[in-house]
Amino acid sequence: MVAKVDFYNGSTLISSDTTAPYTAIWTPSQAGSYTLSAIATDSQGASSKSGSITVVVVASQQTPSITNVFPSSGTPGAEIYIMGSNLSAVNGVKFNGVAASTFSVDSSTLVIARVPSNSTTGSVSISAGGGNAQSAGEFNILPTKNTAVISQIYADGGRSWGDYSHDFVELYNPGVVPLSLTGWSLQIAIPGNSGWFVIPLSGSIPSRGYYLVGLAGSNRYSNLPKTDANGDFDLGGRQGKVALMKSTSAIKGQTPVGSSALVDFVGYGQANAYEGSYAAIAPDRYYSILREKNADTNTNGWDFIIDYANPRNTATPVISTELRR
Ligand SMILES: [Ca+2]
Ligand SMILES: [Ca+2]
């Protein structure tokens, strides 16, 4: 005859019952997976253990709320903090009705979301099992800056001492969305030639990614990564000028500085024009000139360092840590 039944959560006693029917009431304090079992003891002291069952307890579906969106403005692709309460079960985030494809639930009080590329200014809303919530204020969508920089120049392609078969110019997009190059051009001035050579560009540069323009070199072999655009122009080793323009019209005069179509310009070595007060150092043999940290102070002499050539193209993986800057 059963005298007592002990009920357990794992090895922790929940309660004991000495009268039939033998029951226990248990309220878990938090969501999780629990293993429950019971041990019956008879009046002679003999006992028998039941099989165990596993119970998964889910969080109660409480109504979420938004107390703050930080910052209150940003460009598409920017990371935004949505703060509030009961956010653990958030399963959707929208910016003025446009779903954010990238978001993560950090805690019950914080969701981190990226502004979707096609959203417009308006309130931020979230959906969760327990309901929906909307921000009190509007989130301002800022225009994406359509900008890129000339990130690397290599001028000794195809020489017996050079590391690479072709000269190249590399571009970098510091933005958080891809940058379309439709209607843009790379323009090059070569010592001994008057005027500018125009290389129309197409396609786009990935967010925080690169774009490789192959130039003159030895056609007997090629060891550049796949180029994204090409022009058979030979960059000078001692001096040169390279301009990225939002136009395919050839630059007039010695310098594009001051042109509304100018995106970025580099004059190196003994070039007769450059950004700011000093020309960049000239590249040499195995070496490229590279834009340090891809930053642009608009003085070429401050921005470029000389180092081993390292051509990168649109397929070069974006370093994921850069996304968390
Ligand atoms: Ca060259
Ligand atoms: Ca610049």
Nearest ligand to the C-alpha of residue 156?
1
Nearest ligand to the C-alpha of residue 188?
1
Nearest ligand to the C-alpha of residue 266?
2
Distance 321 CA to ligand 2 centre (A): 25
| pLDDT beyond 90 at 50 | no
Distance 252 CA to ligand 1 centre (A): 23
Distance 297 CA to ligand 1 centre (A): 26
DSSP 116: P
- What's the confidence (pLDDT) of residue 34? 93
| Fold (CATH) for 2-57 | Immunoglobulin-like (2.60.40)
Instruction: Label residues 251-285 b or e (16+ Cβ within 10 Å = b).
Output: beeebbbebebbbbbbbbbebebbbbeebbebbbe
Q: What is the pLDDT of residues 236-251, one digit of tens each?
A: 999 999 999 999 999 9
Task: Write down the architecture of domain 149-321 according to CATH.
Answer: Sandwich (2.60)
Nearest ligand to the C-alpha of residue 237?
1
Q: What is the pLDDT of residues 275-295, one digit of tens each?
A: 999 999 999 888 999 999 888
| pLDDT beyond 90 at 225 | yes
- What's the confidence (pLDDT) of residue 87? 94
Instruction: Label residues 95-114 b or e (16+ Cβ within 10 Å = b).
Output: beebebeebebeebeebebb
The share of the chain scoring above pLDDT 90, in percent, equals 71
- What's the confidence (pLDDT) of residue 321? 40
Domain boundaries in the chain?
2-57, 65-141, 149-321
Distance 147 CA to ligand 2 centre (A): 10
Q: Are the folds of 65-141 and 149-321 the same? A: yes
Distance 165 CA to ligand 1 centre (A): 10
- What's the confidence (pLDDT) of residue 60? 65
Compute the average pLDDT of residues 147-159: 93
| pLDDT beyond 70 at 9 | yes
* Whether the model pTM is above 0.85: no
Where does 65-141 sit in CATH, by number?
Answer: 2.60.40.10
